[in-house]
Amino acid sequence: MVAVVALTLGWLCVPVLPSDADTVSSVLRDRDGEVMHIASVEDGRIRLPANLDRIDPAFIEALVAMEDKRFYSHVGFDPMAIGRAIKSNLSAGEVVSGASTITQQLGRQYRPRPRTMPTKIVEALEAVRLDLRMSKTEQLERYLTRISYGSNIEGIEAASRLWLGKSPRYLTTDEIALLLALPQSPEARRPDRNPIAAKAGRDRILDRMAQEGLIDPQVAEASKTQPVPTRRESLPNRDLLAYQTFGDGISTLDAAEQARVARVLSDWTRKRPVPVNAAAMIVHLPTREVRTLVGTGARDHAGGWIDMTDRVRSPGSTLKPFIYAMAQDDGALDLESAVRDAPTRFGAYRPENFTRRYHGTVTVREALQHSLNVPAVTALHAVGADRFRAALAAAGPQARGRIGDTKGEGLALALGGTGLSARDLALLYTALGNGGEAGPLRFKPDAPDDGSYQLVSRETADAVVDALRGAPVPKGFANMSGVGRIAYKTGTSYGFRDSWAAGLAGEYAIIVWTGRPDGAPRPGSTGRGSAAPLLFDIAAPLIMPERDHRLSEAPTALKTVAAQTDRGPVILFPADGTDVLESDRGLSISVDSDEAVQLFVSGEPVRREAGLAVWKPKSPGFYQVSAVDALGRSTNANIRVVSRDQLVDAPPQLR
């Protein structure tokens, strides 16, 4: 007797499910729970976990009525159903009826066996163990997670999304019947291959539902008129690169923004005459949450599929704002200090400006806005290259190696002579937008706060951001006014291998990179010409919401811009504090206003041509553009018109 009890207890303690019983597809979701990517499990199967709280109760009621009426009362197997099946089979002389409960079917999902009488006995015994170890809810959820629906689809959640294009939370009567019919013959009734068989199976289930009193006969007949799906919905796996970074579960991503930025980059890469990749990141400043992480490129060249946001590349001139910031904190200079932009040697190192033109005495602000090289190296010399590198490491980014300079005490660091990734730059520019306070980027909403590091003082960080708002905008774009203006810096690595644009727009930091994964040169491709236009395209919706956008959900900066537009006209182009290029065709002035506007430049009215306000400057120099609306409200923009010879940060072909 003791031996029998021991064997029984041992049998009950044996694991009821294999070790991989809970394996389901990994699902990447955005910050609001929207599915962005589904990864397959073994054999390429799509298996999503079932949750009874997210399944239509009418489906569960019909499932139990069709498959296992006494599911909630039996102990894993149903003796009454077994007796009825034996009687029916003996009368027919063949197997015409089974007696497997949902619990028995669940055991068979994990351990398939030949359909023989001995295995039926084993399955019944295993069903008892399952029933003793699991609640009825858990049994149903596990059953509805692994049940086959044809193709590589397993489980009610995946079946509903891929065959019906919807969640199983709310299902129509015909959809319930279809989802009950498919598992009975998963391949024979696949809607995409055999829609007639799928409809026939569904209609038989509708008849049974009427017979069981689950629906009225009239409802059954009406449901039969509904078409069955004839194609499988596409799998939401558009964000493989993001999935590789964020993994399973809820992320900090914004699915809508991710899709929008992906379209911007895809459109751009598709139009390039030679294969090229592009990558972009958007980080929410207050939370340091990564809202978009996108990489895209042509698949017909090596590395076109690589996520370039975590690859180490030369950052070009994108580190200059931090060099000047540290120099100001050290008291070596400030943004209004005068510096010399002229050929200068630092030991054996002699940096040159990108355009190989020099401008004599300039302010640090001008040197930063126009990305002059010699003043930046001068500032780094004052800070110390090793100290600057150590400060970056303390903030998070590890500058990798020294590129292009072994004799200048690491001063080539100011011009891209090191290696950083887009994620490193995202961290640094997020710190710049957060008053100089650096901290790890967040990829999960519940990620722990690992502390912060004050890279530069708040006062200095704010001053540098203000200076970057005055950088010349890319060709064909107009910067915004006031707080809505984009503060940004471009960078181009040696040999035109990497093109960068990094900036701040509203409450967001944006990083854009373009280039080739193999590091091949792209002659003439600069940060200003390639990456900056993409940055402005990406930033525009973040700082200027559509007029019907709910401002209560907009960032603070957007609310401020909206409030400004209520007080009077806003000059969109040319923006206050910018340089504009002299043109024989004149400059078209653009204003946002709800009232009629009169335009003036330095007190002289601007005439209109074909409805456009076009102003032709008499010569390069400083001017004030004024807009006065019908209510007497006015706005001014102080600008400088420059000739092509005065451009200080443009490729030779623009001169």
Q: Tell me the CA distances in angstroms from 165 to 156, 170, 193, 220, one per residue in order.
A: 12, 12, 17, 22
Dihedral pair phi/psi, residue 503, rounded to 5°? -160, 180
Q: Which residues, in sequence order, are bridge partners of residue 498?
A: 515
With helix as H, strand as E and coil as C, how does 111-172 read?
Answer: CCCCCCHHHHHHHHHHHHHHHHHCCHHHHHHHHHHHCECCCCEECHHHHHHHHHCCCCCCCC
Q: What count of Cα atoms within 13 Å lies in the side-chain half-sphere of residue 149?
A: 27
Amino acid at 94: E
The sheet that has 289-297: what strands, in order across it?
Answer: 289-297, 277-284, 508-515, 498-505, 487-492
Give the Cα separation of 272 and 286 in Å (integer).
35
Contacts of 337 (CB under 8 A, 6+ apart): 363, 364
Residues known to be catalytic: 67, 317
H-run or E-run covering 84: helix 79-92
The residue to which tokens 């107009």 are assigned: 478
DSSP letter at 620 equals S
The candidate with the shortest Cα–Cα distance to 264, out of 549, 539, 476, 521, is 539
- The phi, psi pair for 300, rounded to 5°, reads -100, 15
Between helix 320-329 and helix 458-468 the angle, nearest 10°, is: 140
State whether the Cα torsion 336-649-312-413 is positive or negative: negative
CA angle 325, 386, 435 (to 5 degrees): 25
Token pair in block for residue 430: 């997020």
Greatest Cα pair distance in the chain = 111
CA angle 125, 130, 134 (to 5 degrees): 160
Q: Tell me the CA distances in angstroms from 356 to 310, 647, 652, one per residue in order.
A: 32, 12, 10
